[in-house]
Structure 1
Amino acid sequence: MEWYLKVIKNYVGFSGRAHRTEFWMFVLINLVITLVLSFIDGMLGLGGAEYGMGPLQGLYSLAVLLPSLAVAVRRLHDTGRTGWWLLICLVPLIGAIVLIVFYCLDSEAGDNKYGPNPKGVPAAAGA
């Protein structure tokens, strides 16, 4: 839960780097909360296939939009890529696959132009 709260507190922090654990724990907790809210919306009769998402899930999705974008950009920064790579998701299927691969890659060793390594691992000697 601390990873989720860390992302929420840094909700407009698009600079810097986020390592894999921070990103994926945020995604996991975000998914669980979304599923619970979707279930509650369904139980209260507030959402359905004809309505799309319910109001609770919709409000939550809107509330975490900026933190989600910010942590995704920081994760791309950690792999040495610019945040503009998020736009590749506009390419159907292929874009999402490329982003998932980028999110799964290890951090760039040492500092990069986006900041120090969040793991605290220095660059390899001679690199």
Structure 2
Amino acid sequence: MTIPLDQPLRAASITEAYARFWKKYATFSGRASRTELLWPMLVNLLLLIVLVLARNDVVSLVISLYALAAFVPSIALGARRLHDINRSGWWQLILVVPIIGDIVLAVLWLTFPSPEGIKYDLAA
């Protein structure tokens, strides 16, 4: 059974989560599960580490282009994850507070889903 893109995919595999990350490029509405958030974050981090370790001008351009391409879907995915715990996507602005903001957002992202988050689902 395939879960529609407008519903959170619980226990997503790494390939499913990463594919949904790009398919829902600029979708700020709806919800996302923890695995939908964590797998793409891990893949993006590993890709950037590998590219940074290569250290040359071409790779620097690739890093910049990839980071630019992944920026919008990362923000959208973070917002959808916050919706799953019944919080506004605007909570991501807490990142402007050094260190504390990172910790608070990480805790929010790792929080169990809330049934009230259903209000953020796309209209059927």
Q: What is the TM-score when the length of structure 2 is the normalising length?
A: 0.80
Q: What amino acid sits opposite 1:3 in the alignment?
A: A
Counterparts in 2 of 1:110 and 1:36: CA distance versus 1, 3 Å: same
Q: What amino acid sits opposite 1:36 in the alignment?
A: V
Contact 1:38 1:56 in 2 (8 A): no
Q: Give runs of ≥4 in structure 1 deviating > 6 Å.
A: none
Q: What amino acid sits opposite 1:7 in the alignment?
A: F
Q: What amino acid sits opposite 1:103 in the alignment?
A: W
Equivalent residue in structure 2 for 1:56, among 48, 59, 62: 62
The equivalent residue for 2:84 is 78
CA distance in 2, matches of 1:113, 1:3: 22
1:31 aligns with 2:45: yes
Displacement after TM superposition at 1:115 (Å): 1.8
Contact 1:75 1:103 in 2 (8 A): yes
The equivalent residue for 1:12 is 26
Q: State the SS of the aligned residue for 2:115.
A: coil
The equivalent residue for 2:57 is 46
CA distance in 1, matches of 2:78, 2:92: 8
Tell me how large the CA RMSD over aligned residues is: 1.8
Q: What amino acid sits opposite 2:31 in the alignment?
A: R
Which consecutive unaligned segments of at least 5 residues does structure 2 have?
1-14
1:97 aligns with 2:97: no
How many equivalent pairs are there? Answer: 108
Give the number of the structure whose alpha-carbon radius of gyration is greater: 1
Displacement after TM superposition at 1:112 (Å): 2.6
CA distance in 2, matches of 1:71, 1:90: 18
Displacement after TM superposition at 1:33 (Å): 1.2
Which consecutive unaligned segments of at least 5 residues does structure 1 have?
48-52, 117-127
Q: What amino acid sits opposite 1:68 in the alignment?
A: S
State the Cα deviation string for residues 89-116 of structure 1 (Å, max 9, x = none): 1011111110000011011136532028
